[in-house]
Amino acid sequence: MATTIRSARQLGAPEPGLTRRARVVVVGAGAAGSGAAMQLAAAGVDTALVTGGTLLDGATAISTGRLDGWAGPHDPEEALRRGLGVADRRALSHLLRTAPLVHARVAELLERADATRPGRHETTGHQVQRGLASAVRTMAGRLGTRLRLETGMRGVDVLTDDEGRVAGLRALRSDGALVDWLAPVVVLAGGGAEQFWPRTTAPVTATGDAAAMALRAGAELRDMEFTACAPTAVDLPDELALPLDPAITLGRELRRAGAVLVDGQGRPALAGLGEDELKPSDELAMAVHDWLAGHAGQRLLLDGTRIGESSWAAPPLSATLAACRAHGIDPAREPVPVRPAVQTMIGGIGVAPDGSSTVPGLYAAGEAACTGARGAAGPSNAGLVEALVGGFTVGARLARTADSFDEPGTPVERTPGGCVPAAARPRITGAGRAVGLAREHTELARAADELVGLPTGAPLTGAALSTTNLRLVGATVVAAARARPESRGWHRRTDHPGTKDAWRRTVRIALDDDGRMRVRSTPIP
């Protein structure tokens, strides 16, 4: 039987050399973090926006998601069905009600950024992030602004006082210096932990920082067993693949344009699916997985050679073509090998629709957060809009209530501990194989044991922070998968192939005072 992981409640570190103050610290500058910071800055709230990279790093900037489909209303019952029985109706209603308003706000922002092209703006993740980054830079550069932009500064731990309330954030600068931000409110918008898996379309920054910081501070995570995959990500040959490089997504738009899944002889490979490649993404991902498992040593290819040059030259296929050619392959001229890859996390820090967590003063938004709105899958293409809705919702709520914030208390040290050495990273991603599309009890137990057995005495560095957070958040994914004895959403338990009404529940995970993981399940509201 697998043993239970034990984690430090705070990472051991030297005394910070610098202390700063703010009313709100926002961690992460993607769609959620930038949206929250803009709302706060517009209301004159003293805000620090902290990000480990630049404003154009992170998942939003490489997202293939689009906002176009969220300009109008969605069918709430259909969206609820896509939650596959475990969606939170209240959170889903907030998402569907707010999405068109956020779409209009973002469209207006893009229009202002480029008035020469009225009404002709792409609302892909890349374009949205460019617009948000431009707005944030402008706001931070204004005379008398209350928004401070801190790039090259990565969150390490949320600081708390002796009552467990947020007291600030400890951050690590790119030069290795530590900074303590003292603040009564912290917003975690730092993305997911997809680098836990051997194959992912997410960027190298997806190391679970936000979820790990929240856990160590005392917050709950929920639905960590649920992830979404790109059914047809490029399966690069070993000689072309770079370590930690995100896999390229060959998405639904390409299949709609006429690309077909074929075997090595060019024969249609998934004709038995009925609607073939235009099935829902979760069904297609499992079908691709099953085909590969049943054809050992063979490759499945996506053939886009019959798509006209005009289609390849137009967005969004033009961006896909450019990304592939940058990696030495040309999908317009030859079929490309594909397989599923983890794309986004559905689970995250458990929050209410307004972004508040179980720790007073700690909020979360975007992929780092989980309101339960998406259930086990959710509406297609929901990741980008959920990040924007979460960011703008949290920012608006805190802007309205900023005058009521108490001064931050004195930070107290929680149970400290060392980091997992960077050299352990291959063992961590090896454990991630057990929580792919198909899962089985024995393999899950082995993965849990592997993560428990990793050393934890390394000093704090950027690389060690990544492995430490991946190990902790990965352990919650494994624990949540073990706790759900059924198949639901994107994932199949080979030892529990059916879906059970009794498991219309959400799995929640927290750390107790000495860092041991607690797993519980609760009914869906």
Instruction: Return the pLDDT at 69.
Output: 83
Cα–Cα distance measured from residue 465 to residue 461, given in angstroms and rounded to the nearest whole number: 6
SS3 content of the chain, % helix, strand, coil (to 5): 35, 20, 40
User: Could you tell me where the beta strands, DSSP code E, fall in 292-357?
Assistant: 300-303, 336-345, 348-350
Per-position DSSP letters for 159-195, written without gaps between them: EE-TTS-EEEEEEEETTS-EEEEE-SEEEE-----GG
Cα–Cα distance measured from residue 4 to residue 2, given in angstroms and rounded to the nearest whole number: 7
Q: Which architecture characterizes domain 418-523 according to CATH? A: Up-down Bundle (1.20)
- Say which amino acid occupies 48: A
Cα–Cα distance measured from residue 517 to residue 513, given in angstroms and rounded to the nearest whole number: 10
Asked if 413 and 10 touch (Cβ cutoff 8 Å), the reply is yes
CATH superfamily, with its number, for domain 19-227+343-404 = FAD/NAD(P)-binding domain (3.50.50.60)
User: What is the distance, to the nearest Å, from the Cα of residue 121 to the centroid of all Cα atoms in its chain?
Assistant: 25
At 354, list the tokens. Answer: 């307004």
At 515, list the tokens. Answer: 């860092």
pLDDT in tens, 306-332: 998 888 998 778 888 998 998 889 999
Do β-strands 416-417 and 10-11 pair in parallel, antiparallel, or remain unpaired? Answer: parallel
Give the Å distances, CA to CA, from 126 to 68, 73, 299. 13, 24, 30
Asked if 206 and 193 touch (Cβ cutoff 8 Å), the reply is yes
Cα–Cα distance measured from residue 441 to residue 420, given in angstroms and rounded to the nearest whole number: 26
Instruction: Return the pLDDT at 525.
Output: 77
Q: Which residues contact 127 (CB under 8 A, 6 or more apart)?
A: 110, 121
Q: Which CATH class is domain 231-341?
A: alpha beta
At 326, list the tokens. Answer: 């940058």
Cα–Cα distance measured from residue 15 to residue 12, given in angstroms and rounded to the nearest whole number: 10
Q: The pTM is what?
A: 0.95
Run of H or E including 61: helix 59-62
Instruction: Return the pLDDT at 278.
Output: 65
Segments making up each domain of the chain, as ranges: 19-227+343-404, 231-341, 418-523
Is 47 in a helix, a strand, or coil? strand
Instruction: Return the pLDDT at 114.
Output: 66
Q: Which residue has the tokens 């938004």?
A: 365
Asked if 415 and 8 touch (Cβ cutoff 8 Å), the reply is yes
Is 80 in a helix, a strand, or coil? helix
Q: List, for the chain, all residue ranges whose pLDDT scores fall below the cut of 50.
A: 1, 274-275
Instruction: Return the pLDDT at 301.
Output: 95
User: What is the distance, to the nearest Å, from the Cα of residue 379 to the centroid of all Cα atoms in its chain?
Assistant: 16
Q: Which of 432, 293, 409, 307 is nearest to 359 (CA)?
A: 409
Cα–Cα distance measured from residue 137 to residue 134, given in angstroms and rounded to the nearest whole number: 5
Instruction: Return the pLDDT at 115.
Output: 57
Instruction: Return the pLDDT at 274.
Output: 46
